[in-house]
Structure 1
C-alpha cells in the first residue's frame, strides 16, 4: 500500500511538472504578436469592430490567464479609419479554473490612457450606435424555422449570473469626449483617475474617482472628486453608494471670473426590484449656501414620482449671487442678506412643488406653497402668506433719467412756489408747468411677461408698497398667453381701505393697461407724503376710477391715459391757502377800502370737496368741482394736465362774508353782495394746490359792472316808479347790466 501511494505521488508530481512545462512552453514559445492579423479578423467577424494593435501583446496562461494590450484602438466597421476609442495599455489577469464554474476571478485590472470619443453627426446619428453591428452587405442570411425555434427556446432559458471577483480596478489618465455636430456642443471628461478596492458581490467596494469636466457652450470647467463605498447585490437588484462624498470647483464664462466651490454627501440607494431610488442624509454646500435634505423616487418603471424635504440654512443671498458672478437687480443695501428655507417637496420629471414652505427673507416670513406645474411652459403656481413685506426694499431705484426729470420739476415747483404767496394774493398768477415729470425708460419686460403662466394668491399682514403701509393686504393675479389679470388687490390703508383690479395685455407690440380702482376714506395727504410730495390738501378721500393706457414707459402710459373718475374729500383743509383772505381782498376792492388787519390764518378748512374727471390722452377735465367751506361755496371748472402735472381752473366763490366776532370793516358783506360769485383763477403746478389761486381781475371787472348795473336799476325803479311801462324799465335796466 505504501508503495502504491508512493507511485501515485510520483505520477501526480510528473503530471504537474508536465503542465508547468507546457505552460512555460506556450507562454515563451508561442507569441500572440505573430497572430495580430488573425486577431483583427476575429474581431471583425465575431465582434464586428475594427481592432488596431500597434503595440505588443503580452500574456500568461496558468494559473492566471493574463493579457496586456499596448497602443490599441477600436473603430466601427462603418468607419474603420475613425477610431472611437484607443488606449495606451490594458492589463488584466483571470484565474483559469473558476471560469469553468462561471466565476470571474481577476487580479488587478489596469487601464492606462483610455481615450473615448463619442460623436453625433449632423443627421443625429451617433458613432456608438454602430458598435458591434455588421455592415449591411455582410448581414447573414435569415435562419431556417427550426434553428429559429431552437434559438428562441435557448433565449427563454434564464442565464446564470456570472460571479465577479476582482482584486482592484485602476484607470489612469482617461478621457471621454462627446460632440454634437448639429449644435456644435462639446462635453468632455479629462484626466480621469479611478481606483477601487476588491470588487465582490454583496460587499462594500471603496471607490475614488477624480476628473476634470468641461463644455464649450457655455465654456465651463469643473474639477470633481468622488469618494465612497459601492455595494451591489445583483440577486436582489439592489445597488448602494454609501458615505458618498462629491466635491469640486466650477469656473467658466457664466461665472464672470468667479468660482463655485461645491460639495455633496449622503447615502444613495437604487432598488430596481421595487422601482425605488433614494438619497438620504443629504448635505449640500455651494460657496456660502448650506443645505440638508432627503429625496425618494418611486415608480422608476413608469413616471417617476419624487418626494422629500429640503432645508437651507440662513445665508446672504446677495453675496452668494455675487460670488457666482451674477448680479441681482439694484435694491436697497442689506436686502436679501438673511434668507433661509425649509420645505417639503414633490415632483415628476416635468414638475416640482414646494409645500409647507417656511421661508424667511430679511425681516419677512412666508408660508404656503410654490409649484412649477410644467417646466416647458414655466407654469408657476404660488399661494403664500407673509407677516410683513416691504416691496420698496427690493425694487430698483428710479433711473437717472427719472431722477433728473424729478430734480428739474422740483426746482421748477420751488421757484413757482416762492413766487406764489397765495395768502398775500398780490403776486402774478403762476405760469403753467411745461416740463414732463415722467420717465421714458422701458417699464415692463414684455418678452418675459408674454411667456408667463402664473396663478398667484398672496396675503400679507402688512405690505409696504410705494411707501404706503398697507394692512391685511391680499393679491390674486393670473397670467397666461400674454394676458395678465389682476383679479383683486385690496387692503386697509390709514384707517381707510382700497381695492383694485385690472388687466395688462402684452400680446401686442404695445402693452395695454386697464385698471379699476376704489379708494375709501383714505387720508389724501398721507398718500402724497409717501410719494415725497408736499400735500396741498388734507382730508379723507373716496375715489372711484376706470382708466386705460398703452405703452411701455411712464410717459407713454400717461400720454395715452383715458377713462373717468369721481372723487370726494371730506373734512379737509386747503393748506397754505387762505381763500377767505383772497375773497376779502376782492370785497374790499369793491368797497373801495383797504383791509386793516393781517391774515388770521394760512389754511382754509372745508367740509367737502368733490367732482368728476374725464381723462383724454393724459388731460383730466373737471367741469363740476365743488367745495363747501363754512361761510362760502366754491364752484370750479378746469383741467388737470397729468402730462406735466399742471392745472388750470376758473373758480367762483359765493360768500356770506366775514362771520368772525370782529370782522374786518373792509370785508363786510351787505345785501348788495349777496348771491354774487367772486372769481378766482388757479393755474400752475398741481402740487401748489390753492396756493396757485389769484383773484381773476378780468372777471372781477364783470362783477363790478354787474354790481354797478344793479345799483342803476335800483335808481331807475326809484325815479320812474309806475310812470312807464314795465317793458321799458326792463329795457333800460338791461342797458346797464351788459
Structure 2
C-alpha cells in the first residue's frame, strides 16, 4: 500500500510538472499579439465593436490566468473613426485551480487612464448604443438572407447553477475620466481624475472603498470635488448591498453660488435591498457650510415607475442670513437687517419622483413659530400646497427697504404736499390750494404674469397675530387657490383693534391684460393708522364701516388706479376732522355778513363729529361722492364732489347748516342770530387728498347769494311792516321768492 501511495504521489507530481511545463511552453511559445486581427474581427462580428489594440497583450496561464492590455480604444463598428473609450492599461489575473470549484480568486485589478466620451446627437442617439448589436450582413449574390433558425427550447427547465464565489485582492482605478454630452439639450457632464481603491473583495465581507473625483456641468456651470468612503458589503444571493459608515464630502462652486464655495458632508448607513425593492439612508448627518441637519430617508417600490419616499429631517438652529450669503445669495436690504438670524426646522418627509411633502412641520423663524403641512404636489406643474398656523409675525421687518428711486418719489410728493399746506395758511383764510396734477403711482409691473399663469396653488394660513404697516391683525385667516391663470382669494379675515374685516378677491391673468376683482367689508376699524405717514398726520379719525365692490385691469399701480371701477358705501363714527375747524369757517362766513373782522383765535384746531357717511362711485380712477353727510353737534354738513385717485386730489363742494344751536361764538364778530339758522353756508374743498378738511375754504361766490338772500328777507320784512294787510298773500309769496333767488 505504501508503494501504491508513493506511486500515486509521484504520478500526480509528474502530472503537475507536466501542466506547469505546458503552461510555460504555451506562454513562451504562443504569442496572443499574433492574433490581434482575429480578436478585432471577433469583436466586430459578435459585439459590433471596433477594437483597436495599439499596445502589446501580455498574458500568463498558470498558476494565474493573467491578462494585460495597453493602449486600446473602443468604438462602435457603425462609427469606427469615433472611439468613445480608450484605455492606457488594464491588468488582471485569476487563479486557475479554484475555477474548477467555481471560485474566482483574483489578484489586484488595475485600470489606468480610462477615458469614456459618451455623446448623444441631435436625434437623441448615443454613440454607445450600437454596442452588443451585430450588424446584419447581406447574403451573397443578392440572395435574401436565410432566416435564422429558432432556438430550441429545452424540454425541461435548466437547473439553476450556483453562483460563483468572488475573491479579489483589490481594485484600483487611476486617472479615469468620463464625459457625457447631449446635443439635443445642450448639456454636458464630466467626471475627471477619478481615483478608486478598495480593500480585499470577498463575498459577504465588508470591503473598504475610497472614491474621489472632480465633477462638472455646464447648465448650470458647476464644479465640484467629491470624495466617498465607506465599507461596502455585497450579498448577491439576497441582492442586498450595503455601504456602511458612508461618508461623502467635498466642495462645490459655480454659477448658482455666485463665486462662493459650498463645503458639504453627508454621513450614514446606506442600504439597497433589491429583493424587497427598498433603499434607505439611516443615521443621516448632513452639513453644508454652517448648516447642520439630521435625518433618514427611505425609498420603497424601486421596481415601480413612481417609487415612494418617506423619512424625516431636522435642521439645527442656523443664522439663515449668513448661510445664504455664504452660498452666493445676498439678501436685498430689508427694513430690519437683524431678521433671518434664527431658523430651525423639524418635519416628516414623504413624496415621489415628482412630489415632496413636509408633514408635521415645525419651523421657527426669528421670534415666529409655524406648524402645519407644506407640499409640492407636482414639481413639473409647480403645484404648491400649504396649510400653516403661526403664532406671531412682524411682516414689516421683512419687507424690502425703499430704494433711492422710491425715496426720491416720496420726497417729491411730500414737498408738493408741504407746499400746499403752506399755501393753505394757518387760519383758513388764504386762497384755495391748487389742484394736484402729478401722477402719484408707479408704472413698475407688480405681478409676475407668466409665473401666475403656470401656478397651481392651494394655501390655508392662520395667524394669531400679524403686523403689517405697523398694524397688528389678530385671528388672521387666509385661504387662496390658483389654477390655470386664475388666482382666487376665497377669504381673508381678521380682527384689527376693536373692529374686523373680511375680503375676497380674484386675479385673472388668462388674458393679455390682467383683470382684478375685490369685495371688501370693514366694521368699526380705526382709520387713522392707515391714513397717517411719518411725514403727515391723518386728516381724519374715526371708526370706519365700509363695503366695497371694485374691479380694475392692468399690472401696475398706475394702471390699477386708472382702471378702477365699482361702488362703495362708508360710515365713519365718533370721528374728528384733524386740524380743520368747521366752526372757524362758519364764523368767518358770519363775520363777513356782519361786516366785521375776527379778532380772536379759535382754541379748537379740530372738529369732532358724530357720523360721516356717504357712497362712492368709481369711474376710471375717479371716485364720485354725491351724498356726503356729516353730523356735528349743532351743525350738519352735506356735500358732493370727486376724489381723483390718479393724482390723489379732491374737489368738493359742501354746505354747513346751523340746526338752531346759538351758543356764544368765540369771537364777537360772528355772533349768531336767528336769521342765520337753517342757512347752508357754502364751502369749497380742493387740493391734495392729504390735506383733508384743511383744503376747504368758504365759497365766496356762494356767500354773495346768502348775503342777497338775507338782504331780501330783511326788505320783505320792512315792506310787510309798511303795507300790512294791504298786500295779498300771493304777492307776499312772490316777493319772498324774488329775493331768495
TM over 0.5: yes
Cα pair 1:77 1:133 within 8 Å, conserved = no
1:576-611: CA deviations, max 9, x gaps? Answer: 111112211211222233445321211111111111
Q: What residue is the counterpart of 1:111 in the other structure?
A: 111
Q: What residue is the counterpart of 1:274 in the other structure?
A: 276
Within-5 A mapping of 1:596-611: 596-611=599-614
Q: What residue is the counterpart of 1:171 in the other structure?
A: 173
Within-5 A mapping of 1:317-356: 317-332=320-335, 333-356=337-360
Cα pair 2:46 2:134 within 8 Å, conserved = no
1:596-645: CA deviations, max 9, x gaps? Answer: 53212111111111111111111111111111111111111111111111
Q: Separation in 2 of the partners of 1:401 and 1:472?
A: 36
Q: Which runs of 5+ in 1 are unaligned?
A: none
* Structure 1 residue 94 corresponds to structure 2 residue 94: yes
Q: Which runs of 5+ in 2 are unaligned?
A: 140-144
Q: Which moved more, 1:484-493 or 1:426-435?
A: 426-435
Q: Which moved more, 1:369-378 or 1:121-130?
A: 121-130
Cα pair 1:402 1:438 within 8 Å, conserved = no
* Structure 1 residue 217 corresponds to structure 2 residue 219: yes
Assess, with a 3 A threshold, how the Cα gap between structure 1 residues 32 and 694 changes in structure 2: closer, same or farther: same
Assess, with a 3 A threshold, how the Cα gap between structure 1 residues 138 and 112 changes in structure 2: closer, same or farther: farther
Which of 618, 621, 624 pairs up with 2:621?
618
Q: Separation in 2 of the partners of 1:555 and 1:497?
A: 29
Q: Separation in 2 of the partners of 1:285 and 1:343?
A: 17
1:123-143: CA deviations, max 9, x gaps? Answer: 212222211211022798545
Q: What residue is the counterpart of 1:194 in the other structure?
A: 196
Alpha-carbon distance, 1:159 to partner: 3.7
Which of 245, 264, 283 pairs up with 2:266?
264
Q: Separation in 2 of the partners of 1:531 and 1:352?
A: 45
1:682-727: CA deviations, max 9, x gaps? Answer: 1111111111111111110100000111111112222222324333
Q: What residue is the counterpart of 1:699 in the other structure?
A: 702
Cα pair 2:500 2:524 within 8 Å, conserved = yes
Matched positions, count? 734
Alpha-carbon distance, 1:466 to partner: 2.8
Alpha-carbon distance, 1:484 to partner: 0.5
Q: Which moved more, 1:427-436 or 1:319-328?
A: 319-328
Alpha-carbon distance, 1:324 to partner: 2.0
Cα pair 1:466 1:530 within 8 Å, conserved = no
Q: Separation in 2 of the partners of 1:428 and 1:169?
A: 97
What's the C-alpha RMSD, in Å, of the aligned pairs? 2.0
Q: Which moved more, 1:14-23 or 1:495-504?
A: 14-23
Q: Which moved more, 1:123-132 or 1:652-661?
A: 652-661
Alpha-carbon distance, 1:105 to partner: 1.1
1:504-545: CA deviations, max 9, x gaps? Answer: 111122222111111111111122236864111111111111
Assess, with a 3 A threshold, how the Cα gap between structure 1 residues 317 and 209 changes in structure 2: closer, same or farther: same
Task: Give TM-score scaled by structure 2 length.
Answer: 0.95
1:392-446: CA deviations, max 9, x gaps? Answer: 3333234544332221111111122123235x23222211122222111121111
* Structure 1 residue 297 corresponds to structure 2 residue 299: yes
1:63-118: CA deviations, max 9, x gaps? Answer: 11011111112222222232222101100010111222222111100001111122
Q: What residue is the counterpart of 1:414 in the other structure?
A: 418
Cα pair 1:658 1:668 within 8 Å, conserved = no
Q: Separation in 2 of the partners of 1:138 and 1:672?
A: 123
Q: Separation in 2 of the partners of 1:268 and 1:589?
A: 95
Q: What residue is the counterpart of 2:672 in the other structure?
A: 669
Within-5 A mapping of 1:46-85: 46-85=46-85
Within-5 A mapping of 1:223-262: 223-262=225-264
* Structure 1 residue 548 corresponds to structure 2 residue 548: no
Q: Separation in 1 of the partners of 2:738 and 2:218?
A: 96
Q: What residue is the counterpart of 1:538 in the other structure?
A: 541
Q: Separation in 1 of the partners of 2:315 and 2:274?
A: 31
Q: Separation in 1 of the partners of 2:405 and 2:14?
A: 103
* Structure 1 residue 515 corresponds to structure 2 residue 529: no
Alpha-carbon distance, 1:213 to partner: 1.0
Which of 356, 376, 383 pairs up with 2:380?
376
Q: Separation in 2 of the partners of 1:555 and 1:8?
A: 109
Assess, with a 3 A threshold, how the Cα gap between structure 1 residues 658 and 592 changes in structure 2: closer, same or farther: farther
Cα pair 2:665 2:671 within 8 Å, conserved = no
Task: Give TM-score scaled by structure 1 length.
Answer: 0.95
1:201-240: CA deviations, max 9, x gaps? Answer: 1110000001111122222211110000111111111111
